[in-house]
Each structure stands twice: as structure tokens, then as C-alpha cells.
Structure 1
Amino acid sequence: MDERDWLVLQTLYKEKNITNAAKTLYISQPALTNRLKQIEKVFGVKIVNRGRRGVQFTPQGEYLAKCANEMIQRMQSIKENVHNMEYKMTGTLRLGVSTFFTDYKLPGLLKLFKDEYPNIEFKVITDWSSHIAHLIHNQDVHVGFVKGDYGWKDQKRLLFEETICIASKEEIDLDHLPDLPRIDYRTDQNLKMLVDNWWAAHYTKPPLISIDVDKAGTCKNMVANGLGYAILPSMILDDLENLHKIDLNTSDGEPIIRKSWMFYHEESLQLNIVRAFVEFIERVDLDAIH
């Protein structure tokens, strides 16, 4: 059993479908089926049963699939430790990054880091902050960039603070806000709850959603073209002029602040590439990166 075999089990367990797993692994279906047979031969057990609705794992297969995550992570750790022993800045840095950070900061940030350490490669996972917090907790990534605290108990660094604001092309009266067309977008649960709670504290009727899009960037462009108002984190709007913005406030009249953090484990600093990256983030001017 090599790392590729464990990856086959991990992927098939996730997909529950030979065709989809083969596509994910960039191999043919016959090659995947043959690999499965070889794995079954090694352990002397039946791993999966195939049916019209895909594949079903046997109890032994379930056990091996769950072991796959541990084995792959263990192999990654061994490789990282071997590279680390050479005292060279080589290897793969695994990052988990929230959607906003990916769109607005990550490309420029990685370029600067790559300029300093050209032999380092990156594996980046982008998702909502809640999922990134889960990945860093399980040590599936070395460093996580998230919005919100998530009860993180290990090492963290504050990166940004921003307000949440109502943005529109034209000046608006907050008393009339429920009757004005709003552009909504998909975002992480923490921000959605924050906005919903603010709305419930100020209005008795729901917002008039006229346009619903998939990303904050698309929403911003809709606002810039005068198609309605939106409630957005202020940093997204920094590159737009001639917009009217009103910060959301707490019941005490203070602006509602949303914080962005870098999370990592203290023990991860034993890896040269992680320590170099954390030190790089602490000295670089993030506000200047676009």
C-alpha cells in the first residue's frame, strides 16, 4: 500500500461513485477498478460492493477508508519533517483561506512570499471561514485565514478590522430601507447572522431582495451600477468611489467590527516553511497588497 492507494480509498469513500472518483483522481475507470482489486488482494477482504446507485463500502472497507485520512496525513507529516531536517526552505505550504482573502489579498501575498522563497510550493483550499477553521483545527492545513474568532485556542494574529456597511449608488434614508431593492449574496454563516440580527433589531418587515448573486464581488459590481443597495464588509468597497456608505452600529451606537485572523498551531512553527510564512505575514504590509 502506497500513498496513492490510500488516496484512492479516500476519494472513492467521499464520492461513492467509480466514475466521479476516477475523474477526481485523473485516472480511467478500469485503472481505478483494477487498483481496488489489488487493495482487496493485499488485505484479503471485500472493500466495496457495486450497485445501480454507486458503491457501498463493506465494514472492512469503511474501516480502511477512515484509516486513509490518517495515513495520508501521516505521510505528509513525514515528508515535511524530512524536508525540514535539511534546513532548506523547500516543500509544500498548505493554506486554508476564506473567500474574501482569496479574492482580494492572496495572489499578491503568495507572489511576494514566492519571490523570497522560490523553492516553496503552495496547496491552497478556499472556502467559508467556518470550514477553514475546521481544517486548521484538524491540521489539514498549516495556516488558516478566517473572519471571526471561532473559539480558537492556539496561536493567532489579528490581520484586519473592518466595518459592515450599507452601500448604494444613491443616498438613502434608513427609514425607507425595507422598501428599497437589496442585492444579496452568499456568504459565511457568521456574517449572515450578524446582518440578520441587525435587521431584526431595526425593522419589523423583511428586506426586499431584488437580486441574489453567488459572490460578494458580483454584488459589489451590481451596487456600483446602481441596481440596488447591499450590506457588505467595508474592505470590499475600498476600490470604489462615489458610493454612499452607512456603517451598521450596535445598540450602543458603536460600529459593528468584523475581524480577520491568521490561525496556526504552535507546534507547526517547528517546520521551517511555516515559521518563515508566519514571520513573513507579521512583517508585510497587508494593506498595501491588492
Structure 2
Amino acid sequence: MSDFRLTVFHTVAKRLSFSKAAEELYISQPAITKHVRELEQQYNNKLFERKGNKIELTLAGETLLNHTEIILNMYRSMDFDMNSLLQKHKGLLNLGASTTISQYIIAPILAGFKRKFNEIELKLLTGNTEQIESALIDKEIELGIVEGRSKNQEISYTDFIKDEIVLVCHKNHPLAKTSEIDPSALPSYQFIIREQGSGTRQVVDHSLKTIGLRTADLPIEIQLGNTESIKSYLMHSSAIAFLSIHSISQELLNGELRIIEIKGLSITRNFYLIHLQGNQNPIVNKMMRFAMLHYNL
């Protein structure tokens, strides 16, 4: 029911590309250009400026984008509420999940939600915690599940499930037969670490400080951008790494990886459901209730 020109404009504004918008919306690039020009004529303002091979929003474009996001969200909410009267559940939910959650936690939630609400379309963006929070602030997603919590006042955090981060090594590592090591021994081993902005990295950095260590004190063999890469590297290396317990259940069961206990150190955290403060999106609320129920059965 919404003005399709606003959908076109919103897609171009978020992608800053006419060609990418055309690809995403399955229409031609000339059609994209036509819709944008009609809006520019309607408001007697230029919405985009070309900078070399790139485009940027003008002040008028930024203003229209702010209003467009509010309008499109209202249309989604209206569609959901009206369909609910007919006992139907339709709409689109743009989700974001940090890497560990995307790989090991969210799949059964999404599958269960789709079985119950088949006509709600789901789209999932994956990135580290920092990237997912940025996507939420930029309104590229409406709901995120992340591994850490920042101090951003625009974001509302809801405790989701507990996680434990453990130190692991390959089964053939010298530490594999050791039940516990002293924190002072950690700088004696090579480490694989996650990138800055990763929720796991943030929690590990903070926890090491409680035992008088910094990540900078540890010999870093390599930095990798996701858990699967770290697990694969561990299989061919004498390095060790901090990983979520949720991510290594199969490897522990198969005996490929072993947990190394650190005396006096337990690293636990919450995973969080996040949305913008003042959220009134009924589909977001429905997904949050469903996700919480799924992990409390």
C-alpha cells in the first residue's frame, strides 16, 4: 500500500547506488532513476549529488530519508495489525545477528518462527556486535541479537540467554591433558583472537583485566574474523583460542577440541536482544516473545 517511490528512494539512499537498488528491487535502473526524479520534482529539491563514481544524499535527501523510515515502519505496522484482525500474520522483519549467534544460535529460532508465521518475511544480516549495533542505529534492521552491550542510549537491551567463553586447544596440543593452568602461564602460548568490535573479543579483553592481563600481553599468532575460521585454524595449529561454549559442542563431542580451565577465571556473558528505544513495531515484539519462549521451553 505504501508509495513505491519511497521504497525506491529508501533503497537507493541506504545502498548509495542506483544499480544495487535496481538489483535488490528487481526493476530496471532507468525505472529507479524515474522514481527518484519524480520525488525530486514533487519536493522541488535534489535528493542525491554525484561525487565521482559515487552518490551522496543532499540535505533534502537526508530529511526525506528520516521521514521515509518512519513512514515505511508505520506501513509495516499497519499491515501487520490489519492482517492480525483476519488472523493473518504478514510483514517483513529485518534482523541482525552477531557472528557467533548467527552461526550457532539463531537458526532454530528462525525456522520455528517461519513454521508458525509463514507469511512474515525474514531477512538476516550478519556481522560483529559493533556492526549489528550500527545497522540498528542506521535503521537497516529492526531487531538484533548480539554478544555484548555498549553504552549507546538509543538502543534498548533485553537479556536473552547465557553464554560461557572458554579457552580451547586441539586434542593433540600439550595442554589437552592439563585440567587447569595458572593465568601467569597464558603468555607462554600462541593465541588466535577475534577482531576489534567482536563481542567475544570485548568480553575476553575485560575478563583478562580482572586477572591482571591484557590481550596485548598475549603472543598473537593470528587474528581471524569468525569462529569457524578459528576452529579450522585450531585443527592445524598449536595455538589456543577463546570461544563460546555454544560454538564448540560438536567438536567437544567428537573429541577434536579440549577445554583448558584457567585458575580463578570464569568468563560468562549474556546475549542480548536489541532494538531502538521506543520500539512500537509489533513484528519485532512478536519475534522477541517467540525467541524468549524458544529458549525457556
TM range (shorter): 0.7 to 0.9
Matched to 2:126, the amino acid is: T
Per the alignment, residue 167 of structure 1 pairs with: 168
What's the CA shift for 1:232? 1.5
Per the alignment, residue 180 of structure 1 pairs with: 189
The answer as to whether partners of 1:248 and 1:256 remain within 8 angstroms in 2 is no
CA distance in 1, matches of 2:44, 2:214: 65
What's the CA shift for 1:280? 3.8
Per the alignment, residue 145 of structure 2 pairs with: 145
Matched to 1:210, the amino acid is: E
Per the alignment, residue 37 of structure 1 pairs with: 37
What's the CA shift for 1:229? 0.9
Per the alignment, residue 178 of structure 2 pairs with: none
The answer as to whether partners of 1:165 and 1:231 remain within 8 angstroms in 2 is yes
- Report the CA distance shift for 1:205/1:38 in structure 2 as closer, same or farther (over 3 A): closer
Equivalent pairs counted in the alignment come to 282
The answer as to whether partners of 1:73 and 1:140 remain within 8 angstroms in 2 is no
CA distance in 1, matches of 2:221, 2:198: 21
Per the alignment, residue 215 of structure 1 pairs with: 226
- Report the CA distance shift for 1:57/1:80 in structure 2 as closer, same or farther (over 3 A): same
Matched to 2:271, the amino acid is: S
Matched to 1:284, the amino acid is: H
The answer as to whether partners of 1:45 and 1:60 remain within 8 angstroms in 2 is yes
What's the CA shift for 1:247? 4.3
3-state DSSP class of the match of 2:266?
A: coil
CA distance in 2, matches of 1:255, 1:148: 16
Pair 1:69-2:69 in alignment: yes
Per the alignment, residue 246 of structure 1 pairs with: 260
What's the CA shift for 1:258? 1.3
- Report the CA distance shift for 1:72/1:106 in structure 2 as closer, same or farther (over 3 A): same
Deviations 1:195-250 (A, max 9, x none): 2344452369633222332211110122134442112122212221333323457x
Per the alignment, residue 294 of structure 2 pairs with: 284
CA distance in 2, matches of 1:76, 1:60: 24
Task: Give the alignment's TM-score, normalised by structure 2.
Answer: 0.74
CA distance in 2, matches of 1:112, 1:103: 16
What's the CA shift for 1:106? 2.0
CA distance in 1, matches of 2:83, 2:66: 27
What's the CA shift for 1:103? 0.8
What's the CA shift for 1:9? 2.4
What's the CA shift for 1:255? 1.3
3-state DSSP class of the match of 1:46?
A: coil
CA distance in 2, matches of 1:110, 1:204: 35
The answer as to whether partners of 2:143 and 2:274 remain within 8 angstroms in 1 is yes
Please, which runs of 5 or more residues in structure 1 have no aligned partner? none
3-state DSSP class of the match of 1:202?
A: coil
Matched to 2:291, the amino acid is: I
Alignment RMSD, CA only? 3.8
Deviations 1:82-118 (A, max 9, x none): 2223233444444332322211122222223333443
The answer as to whether partners of 1:159 and 1:259 remain within 8 angstroms in 2 is yes
What's the CA shift for 1:167? 0.9
The answer as to whether partners of 2:73 and 2:281 remain within 8 angstroms in 1 is no
Per the alignment, residue 231 of structure 1 pairs with: 242
The answer as to whether partners of 1:17 and 1:55 remain within 8 angstroms in 2 is yes
CA distance in 1, matches of 2:32, 2:189: 55
Per the alignment, residue 272 of structure 2 pairs with: 261
Per the alignment, residue 96 of structure 1 pairs with: 96
Deviations 1:167-211 (A, max 9, x none): 112243654533433222336444323323444523696332223
The answer as to whether partners of 1:96 and 1:141 remain within 8 angstroms in 2 is yes
Please, which runs of 5 or more residues in structure 2 have no aligned partner? 176-180
CA distance in 2, matches of 1:21, 1:70: 20
Matched to 2:273, the amino acid is: M
Task: Give the alignment's TM-score, normalised by structure 1.
Answer: 0.76
3-state DSSP class of the match of 2:97?
A: strand
